[in-house]
Amino acid sequence: MNKEVRTSIKVSKNGPYIVKDLKTLRNSKGVFIETKPVMTLCRCGGSANMPFCDGTHAKNGFSGEKEKDLVADRVETYIGKHISIHRNKDVCCHVGHCVRNLPSVFKKGKEPWADPDAVNPEKIAALIRTCPSGALSYTINGELYKDYIHEPEIFILKDGPYNVTGIRLDDPDGSMPETQDHYSLCRCGASQNKPFCDGSHSDVKFKDDKN
């Protein structure tokens, strides 16, 4: 009888992500990277062999601690006639699908940040479902939509986080993703909300290519 193999990611204290039984690891160009049954992926931002850990975290003073106390409920809600938009900016990876593709709804640098009545709700829902970090979710007719079904995959965003789908996260410190089946994990080492990306890679100008 086949034993079910479940892909998993474990957050190691002040060290890398330990990834087991991952089949699909892709870089930002869509190129598949060969996987092994157990891999360690860098989260300190210092490895010379990205995306894999090369032990640099032990020398560069990397700390996996969160740098601020995040209350469980930092979600803001923008209530509309037919759809309400929820946003947890502490886990936003700043990939910008929302502000780029629906600027009349998602308004960068403005308040209120979102206008749920600006276009039809199906369009907003479809856009939110492309949010890789889980920072955005929505409610229609009283039903909250935040978890979808994805195949297990880690996608390495250029100069940004690991965008994870369909993989259970095991953090001994108890961190839970905002959404269970898709979330972004810090790769630069600078997030204040580790292990999750909070967009700090842009602030610290994290680059895959250090040359």
Q: Which residue lies nearer to ligand FES by CB, 43 or 182? A: 43
Q: Are the CB atoms for 91 and 117 separated by under 8 Å?
A: no
Q: Which residue lies nearer to ligand FES by CB, 52 or 113? A: 52
**Of positions 9, 22, 25, 44, contacts ligand FES by CB under 6 A:** 44
Distances (CA, A) of 72 to 13, 155, 170, 174, 199: 21, 26, 17, 12, 19
Helices marked H in the chain: 97-101, 121-128, 200-203
Token couple for 50: 């990205």
Binding pattern for the stretch 55-94 against ligand FES, x by CB under 6 A and - elsewhere: xxx-------------------------------------
Token couple for 143: 């039903």
Token couple for 79: 């209530």
Does 200 help bind ligand FES (rule: CB under 6 A)? no
The alpha carbon of residue 19 and the mean position of all alpha carbons in its chain are separated, in whole angstroms, by: 16
Q: Which residue lies nearer to ligand FES by CB, 12 or 180? A: 12
**Of positions 19, 22, 46, 190, contacts ligand FES by CB under 6 A:** 46
Does 11 help bind ligand FES (rule: CB under 6 A)? no
Residues of this chain that interact with ligand FES (CB under 6 A) are 15-16, 42-44, 46-47, 53-57
